[in-house]
Structure 1
Amino acid sequence: MTQRYLILEDGSAYPGKAFGSLATTTGELVANSTMNGYQEIISNQIYHNQIIVFTQTSIGNTGLAQNAYESVLPTAKGVIVREYENLATDHFKRISLDRYLKQHRIPGIYDVDTRQIRRHLQEKGNMKASIVDVADEHAFDQLHATVLTNQQVAQVATPKPYPNPDEGANVIVVDFGLKSGILRELSKRDCNVTVVPWDSTSETILDLDPDGVVLSTGPGAPWNLPESVLSMIQKVQTQVPLFGIGLGHELFALANGAKITELRVEHHGSNHPIREIITNEIFFSGQEQGYAVDSKSIDHAKLFITHVDLVNGTVQGLRHRDFPAFSVQFSPDGAPGPKDSVGLFDDFSEFMARRRDSNGENY
C-alpha cells in the first residue's frame, strides 16, 4: 500500500496508507464523531474545502447507496479514517468508498489514530491540513502558503433555479449549500419546491408566490455573504413563513441584529443533546457547526431562544416574536443522525397552512 501523510499547519504529521484518489490536497481539518452515515457526511456540501477525520473506528463497511447522497458532487478535500473496509458486495450492488472517492478525486488515508487527531484539535483549535506524499519542509511551506477561499457558498450552490415538484404547499428553498435531506423531508409533506440561488432577491422569491421559504444549510462563515442576503431575509420574513437551518439559522440571526462567533473547535457528530426551552424536552441532533449565535447580542424584542446545546451552551434555535419565522443550528432532517427533531418541518407546514387559510392576511 502507498504511504501518505496528513500534515497540520502546527507542524504535526500523521503517516497512514492511501485509498481513494492520490491527489495532493489542502483544506480545513474537522473531526466527526458520527457512528454511521459516512456517505451522507462526505457528500454534504457543508464540508466543502474540508478534510474530514472520522473518529468512528471502521469506515467503508456498508457500501454506498444511491438514495443516501446529500449532493450529486461532493466537494470535501479529504477523508481520514482508522480502519477502512473496501466493501461493495451486498445485494444492492453499492459501490465501495474507495471507488467513490476516486471518482471525485478525493484522497483518503487509513491506519491513522483519528481519535488522537481529534484530541489534538480540541487542544490546539481549528487549523489547516494537507494530504501529501512526503512530509518534508516543502510540503509544510506549501501548506502555510495556501489561502483557503471564503467564497464557499458561491462555489457549491446552484447557479439557476430548479424544481422539485409536488402538489402541496409552494415552498422556495434558498440554496446556500443545500443537503438533499431537507428536500426529502419537504417531499414527505407533499411540498412543491423550487430551489433558487443563494443571491436571489426578495422580489424574485416573492414573485414565485411562496407559501413559505427555507434558508438552507451551507459551508463557510455567514459574514462572508453580502448584506443583500440579510436584506432579502428581512423582507421575506415579513411576508411568508420562514425556516432557517444551519447557515440559514446564522443568517436569520444576523438579519435580525444578532452577532455570530466562530467556535474554537468545530462540532460535528450526531450525538449532541439539545434542550427545547418551552417544553424542557431533551433530544439528540445531528450537528455540523463551526459558528454560533452570540446569545448576548440577541435583541429580545425581536427574537427569543428556543433551543440550547447542553454540551457547550450555544444557541441552537431562534424564533421571531412578530412573524412566523424560526431557525435551528442543528440538522432536523438527520441524514445522518437522529430524527428526534424532524417535527420542525411539521411546524413549518402548519405555519404555511395557517397563512393559506387566512389568504396571507394577519397570519
Structure 2
Amino acid sequence: MTDDTNAMPAQASDPAKLVLEDGTVARGTAIGARGLTGGELCFNTSMTGYQEIMTDPSYYGQLMMMTYPHIGNYGASDIDMEAEEPMVAGFIVRSFTERHSNRQADETLDEFMRRYDLVGIAGVDTRALVRHIRDKGVMNAVISSDELDDDVLLERAQDWPKMDGLELASKVTTDSDYVYCEGSGPRIAVYDFGVKQNILRSFRARGATVRVVPGDTPLDEVLAWDPDGLFFSNGPGDPRAMSEAVDRVGRALDTGLPVFGICLGHQLMSLAQGFDVYKMFVGHRGANHPVKNLDTEKVEVTTQNHGFAVEETSIDEAKARVTHVNLNDDTVEGLRFKTFPGLSLQYHPEASPGPHDSHYHFDTFMEMVAKERNVAVPEQTDESLHAV
C-alpha cells in the first residue's frame, strides 16, 4: 500500500482518509459531515463554481476532487444550486477555507456540507492524485473519518459498484411532471435524466414554455402536450444500461420534431441512431476544455462533465455529421443529424460560472424549432441565468 500524498497544514480537526481501490492512501482532515462514503473518483479543473459542481446531478454517486487548491473561499449560497441538494457522494480538496468572503453567501461551505450530510476530506495533494488517476485510469475510492483501518477501507473501495454498466438517471429524475415556466415562445418538453437548473433557465431566458417530465415518461404522454421541440437532458451513469430510454429516444427522433440533447442526452440520441458509446479512460471535467466548431473553425472554451463518449468511427455519415471536436484528444463533442431536425452536444453550453462561449447553441435550437414548427421565438431577455 502506498501513500502518494502528504497531509497539508490545516486547522485541528478529525482525521480522515481517502483510499483508492489500487491501494493508494491519502491522509487528511475531515470536512463536512463525518462518516464513510464512496464512489468513482473523478476530478474537476475549474477554478470556481464548486457549488454548481457539487449539485450537478450528472455527478451523482461520484467522489469529486477539485484540482484548484483553495476551495470554500466564497462560501455557499442557495442561488448557486443546480439541484435541491448535493449530488456528489463525497468532496476532496487540498486547502479548505473555513472563513469565506462573499456578501451573497448564506453559509460557509463546511456548514453547507454538514447540512446535507456530505462527507469530505481536506489537506491532501489533489494534483498528485490527479496525476495518479491520469496514468492509471478512473477508479473507485472511499473517504472515511469514521473507520480508519487501511485494509478495511481498501476492501470497501474494491467492493464499491463500478460506474461501468450502472444506471443512475432514475435516481435523480423528477418524481412527476411540472411546468417550469410559461413564455410567449415555443413549447419545449424536457426529459429529465438529471437536468441542471441552468438548462431550464436558458430556455426560460429565450421565452419558451418549458414542461419537465420524468425520464421514464411514455412518449405518447409527452406528445399529447403538443410540444414544439424535445430536449433530452444531462444525467449520471452509463447510457448503455438505459435500453428503455434509448428506445424512447429513438421513437422521439421519428416524430419529426426538433430534438436537442446535452451530455447524457447526446449519448442516448447517438445510441438510438445505432452509434457506439464507450467508457473513457479518465473523462472530461472542468471549465477550460477547448472545442473546435468545425462549421465556423472557431474554438470555444467549454465546461465539461462526462465519463462516456461517442465513438467517432461508429457514426453513420448518412445519419449525422460531427460538428464539434475536443482539441485535447479529438473526441466527439457535437453532432448535427441528417434524418431529423436535431443537434446534440457532449459538453455543457449552459454552465455558469465558467465560459459562455457556447450559449449560442440554445439559440440554434430555438431557431430550428421556429423554422420547423413555424412559431415565433421572442428575443432573449437580459435576465440572469441565476434569477429564480
TM-score w.r.t. structure 1 length? 0.95
Secondary structure of 1:30's counterpart equals strand
Structure 1: distance between partners of 2:96 and 2:232: 36
Residue 236 of structure 1: aligned partner: 252
2:176 to 157, 160, 166: 160
- Indicate yes or no: 2:139 matched with 1:127: yes
Q: How much does 1:91 deviate?
A: 2.8
Amino acid at match of 1:43: T
Structure 2: distance between partners of 1:212 and 1:358: 11
Residue 328 of structure 2: aligned partner: 311
Residue 43 of structure 1: aligned partner: 55
| Identical residues among aligned pairs (%) | 36
Gap runs ≥5 in structure 1: none
1:280 to 274, 288, 297: 297
User: How many residues end up aligned between the 2 structures?
Assistant: 358
1:7 to 15, 19, 32: 19
Secondary structure of 1:254's counterpart equals helix
Residue 234 of structure 2: aligned partner: 217
Checking the alignment, whether the CA contact within 8 Å between 2:39 and 2:161 is kept in structure 1 is: no
Checking the alignment, whether the CA contact within 8 Å between 1:13 and 1:135 is kept in structure 2 is: no
Residue 385 of structure 2: aligned partner: none
Q: How much does 1:93 deviate?
A: 4.4
4+ aligned runs moved over 4 Å, structure 1: none
1:101 to 104, 110, 113: 113
**Superposition CA RMSD, Å:** 1.5
Q: How much does 1:19 deviate?
A: 1.0
Checking the alignment, whether the CA contact within 8 Å between 1:9 and 1:127 is kept in structure 2 is: yes
Q: How much does 1:23 deviate?
A: 1.8
- 1:171-197 per-residue CA deviation (whole Å, 9 max, x = no partner) reads 111001111110110110111111101
Q: How much does 1:358 deviate?
A: 7.5
Secondary structure of 1:292's counterpart equals strand
Checking the alignment, whether the CA contact within 8 Å between 1:212 and 1:240 is kept in structure 2 is: yes
Q: How much does 1:148 deviate?
A: 4.9
Structure 2: distance between partners of 1:314 and 1:225: 22
Residue 184 of structure 1: aligned partner: 201
Checking the alignment, whether the CA contact within 8 Å between 2:25 and 2:150 is kept in structure 1 is: no
Q: What is the correspondence of 1:135-146 to structure 2 with a 5 Å cutoff?
A: 135-146=149-160
Q: How much does 1:89 deviate?
A: 5.6
Structure 2: distance between partners of 1:349 and 1:86: 44
TM-score w.r.t. structure 2 length? 0.89
Amino acid at match of 1:157: T
Residue 147 of structure 1: aligned partner: 161
Gap runs ≥5 in structure 2: 1-12, 377-388
Structure 2: distance between partners of 1:315 and 1:92: 38
Residue 63 of structure 1: aligned partner: 75
Residue 356 of structure 1: aligned partner: 373
